[in-house]
Amino acid sequence: MKFFTRLIMVPVAPALFYLTFPETANTCLDQGAGSTIIQVLVAVLVGGLFAANHFKHRISSLYNNLRSRGKEGEASKD
């Protein structure tokens, strides 16, 4: 099943990337564009902090599992 998923995603992912980002952008920055860009950056930062706080337990357990695996590997070398 993973093989078929990868087989489908190999041609689809570049096609989506190509369609999402056109070669030319015929736009201009007006006076309100700076505040919009800052607002988007702040929203991404706050959203990322909220998500990190929401999934804090999962993130910390993943980090602890990776750390403990590293210590087990060092103990087996001795």
- Distance (Å, rounded) from C-alpha 70 to C-alpha 78? 13
Q: Is residue 18 part of a domain?
A: no
* Residue-level pLDDT at 40: 93
State pLDDT tens for residues 21-70: 777 777 777 778 888 889 999 999 999 999 888 888 888 888 888 888 87
Q: Is residue 27 part of a domain?
A: no
* Residue-level pLDDT at 39: 94
Domain that holds residue 49: 38-78
- Residue 3 above 90 pLDDT? no
State pLDDT tens for residues 7-19: 777 788 788 877 8
Q: Is residue 67 part of a domain?
A: yes
Q: Is residue 51 part of a domain?
A: yes
Q: Is residue 44 part of a domain?
A: yes
Which 3-state string (H, E, C) describes the chain? CHHHHHHHHHHHHHHHHHHHCCCCCCCCCCCCHHHHHHHHHHHHHHHHHHHHHHCHHHHHHHHHHHHHHHHHHHHHHC
